[in-house]
Amino acid sequence: MSALFQDRRAVLLLGLLAILALAPLAAGDYLLSILITVLLQAYLGMSWNVMMGFAGQFSLGHALYVGLGAYAGGALFVHYGTPPWIGAIAGMAVSAAVGAVIGTLGFRFKVMGVYFALLTIAFAEFTRVLFDHWGWVGASSGLFLPPAPNNSPDNLWLLRGSTTMFYYVILGMTAAAFWFSRALLMRRIGYYWQAIREDQDAADALGIDVFRNKMIAVLISAAMTSLGGVFLAFFNNNLYPESIFSMHRSIELMLGTIIGGIGTLFGPILGAVVLTALGELLTELGAHIGIDGVKQIAYGICLMLILVLKPGGLWPWLRKLLRLEGDGR
């Protein structure tokens, strides 16, 4: 365990971080905004991974927490000028509370697997409908964050500023999420989650508090995800219930982690890189060929190929290839 990040993994990680930290020196705004997309996807994937990958609880409605965070941060800023980091606390609290309701319903009444996933979708959907009709947050016509005046300096506290600033913020968030995930796995709770994931009955029989530990996973995952939502709101400056709470977002959010390797630490990052690179590449290709829908079809085929050839995700396979020793994480 203690050897988890000794040697080559640590080198790889620090190298990656150094390259990413220096990227704005070389990259233009376009490339930076792509990198932001990658990092946000990685961040959200890690957040989902805590619940699904670590604790084995399938959520198909994580857009719910993205939306709650985004709206909490955005609406408080628009109405009261509340700084996003304060708004984020509200967003994380609300998300954790809603997660607690879903978790209680699911875990107390033994709603498991697919049925639990359906429960998470239901909550995301009716929250979307609620926001669609809630005037204070702009209802279905959307909520718009006032942009910073031109040429004003970056304001990290209010999250108003350049693409470069947003890039560093999401880089910091992703690095923190990685470190946090790793810390969780190395602690006792990481083992409890693994036990619950592999055999819930056995974990219960050994005296592990299954309900409590699953609940902690939900609360952490919901709060982390909603912080990503706050970032999204301030980066995009516009929020529509239809897009932020959409099923599409929930699926997109977990896709990177599935491709990269559920339950692994590097999986969400690798998955986000691969998916975004694939998307960009196929967009180029589609533009050359000039037939509508080619991109989507090719994208789908690529995802299927990856899942058929490497069902555990790309990272476990790559890890073996690079001879990075580890305990399977």
Residues within the interface to other proteins (CB under 8 A): 188, 191-192, 194-195, 198-199, 201-209, 327-328
Of 197 and 295, nearer to other proteins (C-beta) is 197
User: Is 164 exposed, middle or buried, given 0-12, 13-18 or 19+ CB atoms closer than 10 A?
Assistant: middle
Residue whose CB is less far from other proteins, 183 or 301: 183
Question: Hey, what amino acid is at 98?
Answer: V
Least CB distance to other proteins at residue 313 (A): 14
Residue 80 Cα distances to 77, 186, 188, 201, 238, angstroms: 6, 41, 41, 49, 17
7 Cβ contact partners less than 8 Å away, ≥ 6 residues apart: 325
Q: Give least dist CB 193 to other proteins, A.
A: 11
Q: In angstroms, rounded to a whole number, what is the distance separating the alpha carbons of residues 165 and 73?
A: 18
Which residues are CB-neighbours of 97 under 8 A, at least 6 positions away?
none
Of residues 53 and 228, the one with the C-beta less far from other proteins: 53
Of the two residues 205 and 308, which places its CB atom closer to other proteins in the complex? 205
Closest approach, Cβ 223 to other proteins, in A, equals 25
Alpha-carbon torsion (234, 236, 238, 243), positive or negative: negative
149 or 328, CB closer to other proteins? 328
Are 275 and 256 within 8 A, CB to CB? yes
- Minimum Å gap between C-beta 120 and other proteins is 25
Q: How far is the CB of 270 from other proteins (least distance, A)?
A: 20
Q: Which helix (H) or strand (E) holds 323?
A: none
Least distance in Å: CB of 201 to other proteins? Answer: 6
Q: Which strand (E) or helix (H) includes residue 239?
A: strand 238-239
CA-CA distance, 9 to 240, in Å (whole number)? 40
Nearer to other proteins, 25 or 205 (CB): 205
